[in-house]
Structure 1
């Protein structure tokens, strides 16, 4: 049986000078580990879970730059730009299997408003008028519209906190779409705070924190335990907030 086409690994370019270890983003443990060890990308989905400021989004931005994507969102051809906060591209090498598809796309919650405007302002004037006016939708509806239209078939898709815009039902719809993409041969990297999204069947989970990146199961995630305890006895948490 032949090797499944896709990105096998993203690693440091051995011919490049290493970035300064005391300068961001190398000060982020997960990025330093990616540089030192490389990151294997499994078939299907890889889910990044961690607290705020753990480095999830920075890892996604570093991967986006390595794949030639606009780190603010969209495809490699996207010229959308709001205020830049992303790290400079690191000298990384993308190892691909023979015949790997080149289509990639990045969706980031914090830059979606700019992406909506960019896509509306740069419509193909000769294309049929099928694309909606994203700003006429709710945030969640607009996100799901782009997700379902732009992320199709085999490719590498990066999603940074896609749950932020979505209700419970919207997250289920997202989960169904992620499952469908994985079944079509896509590779997905999803950074999330949602225990629902982290429960994506078949996904490889990496917990991000001061230790860097470490494999985890959904059951052993602190995220899962905290939500479970809160939903079981919310008063136990709320009592300490007053």
Structure 2
């Protein structure tokens, strides 16, 4: 499996990590961490809340030159500087050919991205409208899910590196399945995805690498062995009995 473009490997600059192990070096994702390899198509980061998925994927994006609050490498707005310093301690090996397109979707700050686009388009000296790359309709004049979908359908153009932090946050199950189809179209156009997600649907792309983050660190795993899949599968197939237990009716 040879990656001709995009990211190949992520490693931690162990020699530079401070001995105090303060945040972000105390997050579970970095326990015993040295490196991980990216799949040329899709790499997933899965795991429970608080394990460090968003911290790690944010650091990967910033290390690649993306704005911490999301967007392309050309965005430089900052609503509140809340990202960690982890990116300064990461070493990223890239393939010889760099992708033509790229985007970092950070779900929690996507509203700020929409605001910045409106601000850029309001500047009188600007050329073409930035929003035209997103379907031509203000992201604030659409539902959260519709604005996410406009990003996938209009802004992602292929031959790109797309780093997504919990893209399922605004998408219905049906749209999550449609997202897999759209991902496949873009992968066929030489794109690479790196995705942090809780969703068993989003995580179901068949030709992918999955890393599960836990208190023990990071381990490579199979789709149906992830906790998110097992819990969802168990609930859907036995929800009546589980509800009785959860609601104290048994």
TM-score, length-normalised on structure 1?
Answer: 0.89
Corresponding residue of 1:64: 61
Question: How far, CA to CA, are the matches of 2:120 and 2:210 in structure 1?
Answer: 36
How many Å apart are 1:21 and its aligned residue? 4.7
Aligned to 2:157: 152
| Alignment correspondent of 1:27 | 26
Give distance in 1, aligned partners of 2:232 and 2:3: 39
Deviation at 1:240, TM superposition (A): 2.6
Q: Distance in 2 between matches of 1:140 and 1:3?
A: 32
Q: Assess if the C-alpha contact under 8 Å between 1:179 and 1:201 holds in 2.
A: no
Tell whether the 8 Å contact from 1:107 to 1:160 is kept in structure 2 after alignment: yes
Alignment of 1:1-242 (within 5 A): 4-13=4-13, 17-34=16-33, 37-88=34-85, 89-101=87-99, 103-123=101-121, 125-127=126-128, 130=132, 131-242=136-247
Instruction: Please give the alpha-carbon distance, in whole angstroms, between the structure 1 residues aligned to 2:149 and 2:40.
Output: 23
Moved more, 43-52 or 85-94: 85-94
Q: Shift in Å at residue 221 of structure 1?
A: 1.6
CA distance in 2, matches of 1:185, 1:69: 20
SS in 1 for 2:187: helix
How far residue 202 of structure 1 moved from its aligned partner, in angstroms, is 0.6
Q: Point out the more displaced range, 44-53 or 127-136.
A: 127-136
The total of aligned residue pairs comes to 239
Bigger Cα displacement from structure 2, 93-102 vs 74-83? 93-102
* Partner SS, residue 171 of structure 1: helix
The verdict on how the C-alpha distance between 1:222 and 1:79 changes in structure 2, with shifts beyond 3 A counting, is same
Distance 1:39 1:229 in 2: 30
* 8 Å Cα contact 1:73/1:80 also seen in 2: no
Greater CA drift, 133-142 or 90-99: 90-99
Q: Partner of 1:39: helix, strand, or coil?
A: strand
Deviation at 1:70, TM superposition (A): 1.0
Deviation of residue 241 (structure 1)? 2.9
Unaligned runs of 5+ in 2: none
CA gap of 1:239–1:147, structure 2 versus 1, over 3 A, is same
CA distance in 2, matches of 1:174, 1:185: 17
Equivalent pair of 2:210/2:222 in contact (CA under 8 Å): yes
Over the residues paired in the alignment, what is the CA RMSD in angstroms? 2.2
